[in-house]
């Protein structure tokens, strides 16, 4: 594997990390409105505007962990690719994808649970 072949894979991890990072502020400020394009879209989070807002507020800590994990492992992957071998960078970036996605699933779980509490009272 050559270094140039790693670049698209790194951009994917960059995109995931950046998306999570950009969502934290609106989620925390409770200004992310229900929409058809972005957010945690479960049956319970979409039940009402209050459920949407509560769910996304509950997902902030895990979303922050997803973003921070992505940034850290993106930097580690670049360093590994440059210092060790491109395949080492690929492995570290793969671990980054896995960790970010796991945190995003945790965020979705917390959001769904908080939204369910709002909808069921």
In three-state secondary structure terms, 80 is helix
The secondary element (H helix, E strand) that includes residue 4 is helix 3-29
pLDDT of residue 36: 85
Q: Which residue segment(s) compose the domain that 105 sits in?
A: 3-120
Percent of the chain topping pLDDT 70: 100
- Mean pLDDT over the full length of the chain: 96
The pTM of this model reads: 0.93
Residue with token string 């909808």: 119
Number of domains in the chain: 1
CA distance 21 to 93: 18
Residue at token pair 């945190």: 103
How far is residue 88 CA from its own chain's centroid? 23
Express each pLDDT in 47-106 by its tens digit.
Answer: 999 999 999 999 999 999 999 999 999 999 999 999 999 999 999 999 999 999 999 999
Mean pLDDT in residue range 105-115: 98
């Amino acid at each position: 594997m050559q270094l140039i072949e790693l670049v698209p894979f790194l951009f994917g991890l960059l995109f995931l990390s950046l998306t999570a990072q950009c969502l934290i502020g609106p989620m925390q400020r409770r200004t992310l409105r229900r929409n058809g394009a972005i957010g945690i879209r479960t049956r319970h989070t979409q039940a009402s505007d209050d459920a949407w807002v509560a769910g996304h507020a509950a997902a902030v800590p895990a979303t922050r962990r997803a973003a921070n994990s992505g940034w850290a492992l993106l930097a580690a992957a670049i360093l590994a690719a440059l210092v060790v071998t491109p395949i080492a960078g690929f492995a570290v970036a793969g671990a980054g994808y896995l960790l970010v996605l796991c945190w995003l699933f945790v965020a979705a779980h917390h959001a769904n649970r908080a939204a369910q509490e709002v909808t069921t009272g």
